[in-house]
Amino acid sequence: MSNLNYDELMKPVIGFLGCETPKAWLDEAVNNLDILMQDHANCEKKAASTAMNLMFRYSFFADLQIKLAQLVREEMLHYEQVLEFMTKRGQAWSSISAGRYAGGLRKEVRTYEPEALIDILVIGAFVEARSCERFYALAPLVDDELGRYYRYLLKSESRHYEDYLALAVDVAKNHQLKNPEETIQTRIDHIREVEKDLILTPDELFRFHSGVPVKAT
């Protein structure tokens, strides 16, 4: 990992997203690392759970099984690693509520197949890309140990975004859509705008994927 060019790695990730993380959120994160780390742990566990649910629900989709099996292993490893960081720093586990981000994106999932699966996969790509972008932005702002860990996560997080996106494209190509004029890019563009709005608008609750802190507006 030490020879990895992080700037080059991040170019397609940042290009995929509709915006970069606002400075106000980064400032809030640096001043609330305990909340950030607890929610980061929660996000890793939720990411593994989401992938597992997809594997059971769409057991007939072989490529999805292969890609998401690896993702589950990596997300659970990251979950364990974050817990170790918290223990090492004397931070006790605490139960915190979820932010609006995931719920706001899930509202966009359609109720019929294969469009529902396409939406879930595209949303998964955006969640992974946003996580990757935030780790990249935070790395130079936090202490050296945590910064090294955030950079370590970039390679796997960027691959997770690519895997989700590739699966969505595959479904769109190989299954008949309800609207034959719709393209996968149309859906990506729509969800990009929804995700961008969640990141750039005021948010009362600070979390790993939250929007602009209300006190900064």
pLDDT tens over the chain, length 217 residues: 456 899 999 999 999 999 999 999 999 999 999 999 999 999 999 999 999 999 999 998 999 999 999 999 999 999 999 999 999 999 999 999 999 999 999 999 999 999 999 999 999 999 999 999 999 999 999 999 999 999 999 999 999 999 999 999 999 888 888 887 778 899 999 999 999 999 999 999 999 999 999 976 5
All structural domains of the chain: 23-216 (1.20.1260.10)
Q: What is the pTM of this model?
A: 0.94
Buried b (16+ CB within 10 A) or exposed e, 134-173: bbbbbbeebeeebeebbbbbbebbbbbbbbbbebbbbbbe
Q: Find out whether 117 and 171 touch, Cβ atoms under 8 Å.
A: yes
